[in-house]
Amino acid sequence: MSRYSRDQTIRVKVGNVIIGGSDHVVIQSMTNTSTHDVNATLLQIKALQAAGAEIVRVAVPDKVALEALPAIVKKSPVPIVADIHFDSALALGAIEAGVAKVRINPGNIGSEAKVREIIRLAKKHATAIRIGINSGSIGGDHDQLVKTSLDVLSKYIEWFKSERFDQLVISMKSSNTLETIKMNKQIAKHYRYPLHIGVTESGVGDAAIVHSSIGIGHLLLKGIGNTIRVSLPGDPVKEIPVAREILQAVGLIREGVRLIACPSCGRTQINTEKFAKLVTEKLKDIQTPIKVAIMGCVVNGPGEAKGATYALCGGKKEGLIFAHGQQVRKVPNEDLVTALLEVIDADLKTTKEEPK
């Protein structure tokens, strides 16, 4: 049984975005507006794109949503994926409406014949298809679930193969993180299709972030996954910074600010949390890959400062500012943030103005 890593997968064209076949992992999300409301949906799609989403999915639960699709597709700045359940006519309509991809669960769309009808129309329109199976939509015993899901998946894939359709993305999600990991490892062992990964219904607040980070992060570190969605309840725009941070943590993107802050301890001379939040906010629009360290004391401070692009390090009364490993200023602790921001600002300006 061979194993297909991320960059060995088939390239699937989703509008102007490629999923698969390279190390660029695509961030995507899904609107939670009513798709009937074209303006609200477009507004959210634009907010998602501004945050960093490259593909956005919309639910198409009925005919009214279907009728809204052409306007959404036309005005969206990113490729649109239609999420369809139960009604194959909606999938056919979405393809005609010009979506870049449809997501279906072949198990709930009616019949093999109906799935094949969708495949043929998608082929004609060069529309990609995602087979999206959630363990929740299969149900049953957890122990048996991984095997059952894979058996079901392999049956569906045969339909696509016999239609000579390869613009296929696979997702197999569970609200159980370990199960999600196991299922995706198995899929990557057997198939060359790119994988869409995520932990579904992952919970609320920090718990959701923990589960998504571990599930997605572990698979990416194993070389598995071509596009990711972090599922959080509420405003989907919140999902994007988490997705970006996951990619940054596993070394798959290097842009933007990586801020590190020591957890405060009985040795800390400054309020590192307050400082870090302030600096994060001030630097949020910077795209240059820099590492900024906010250090509370002299134990790890100077060492960490050497590894960071910029650093501030609290002292007894006065603290230090470092740039590129060198100490550049010494100021009272209360002026550290201002001094750090001045140093970064001046330095990034200089870098920009340098002739290439």
Cβ 184 to a second copy shortest distance, Å: 13
Name every residue whose Cβ is closer than 8 Å to that of residue 175 and which is 6 or more positions away in sequence.
135, 136, 199, 200, 201, 202, 203
Q: What is the DSSP letter of 263?
A: P
Q: Please name the amino acid found at residue 305.
A: A
CA–CA distance, 36 with 41 (Å, rounded to integer):
8
Smaller CB separation from a second copy, 189 or 306: 306
CA–CA distance, 160 with 95 (Å, rounded to integer):
16
CB 26 within 8 A of CB 227: yes
Smaller CB separation from a second copy, 124 or 274: 274
Smaller CB separation from a second copy, 49 or 213: 213
Smaller CB separation from a second copy, 68 or 339: 68
DSSP string, 55-91: EEEEE--SHHHHHHHHHHHHH-SS-EEEEE-S-HHHH
Smaller CB separation from a second copy, 266 or 355: 266
CA–CA distance, 2 with 9 (Å, rounded to integer):
12
Cβ 110 to a second copy shortest distance, Å: 15
Cβ 278 to a second copy shortest distance, Å: 10
Name every residue whose Cβ is closer than 8 Å to that of residue 143 and which is 6 or more positions away in sequence.
none
Query: What is residue 27's three-state secondary structure?
Result: strand
Cβ 266 to a second copy shortest distance, Å: 3
Cβ 75 to a second copy shortest distance, Å: 17
Instruction: Classify residue 173 as exposed, middle or buried by CB count within 10 Å of its CB (0-12, 13-18, 19+).
Output: buried
Smaller CB separation from a second copy, 50 or 265: 265
Smaller CB separation from a second copy, 196 or 211: 211
Cβ 186 to a second copy shortest distance, Å: 16
Cβ 231 to a second copy shortest distance, Å: 4
CA–CA distance, 80 with 91 (Å, rounded to integer):
13
Cβ 175 to a second copy shortest distance, Å: 4
Smaller CB separation from a second copy, 17 or 250: 250
First to last CA, the chain: 49
Of 168, 85, 163, 166, residue with least CA distance to 120? 163
| Bridge-based pairing state of the strands 101-104 and 80-84 | parallel
Smaller CB separation from a second copy, 13 or 36: 36
Of 205, 208, 189, 187, residue with least CA distance to 197? 187
Cβ 34 to a second copy shortest distance, Å: 6
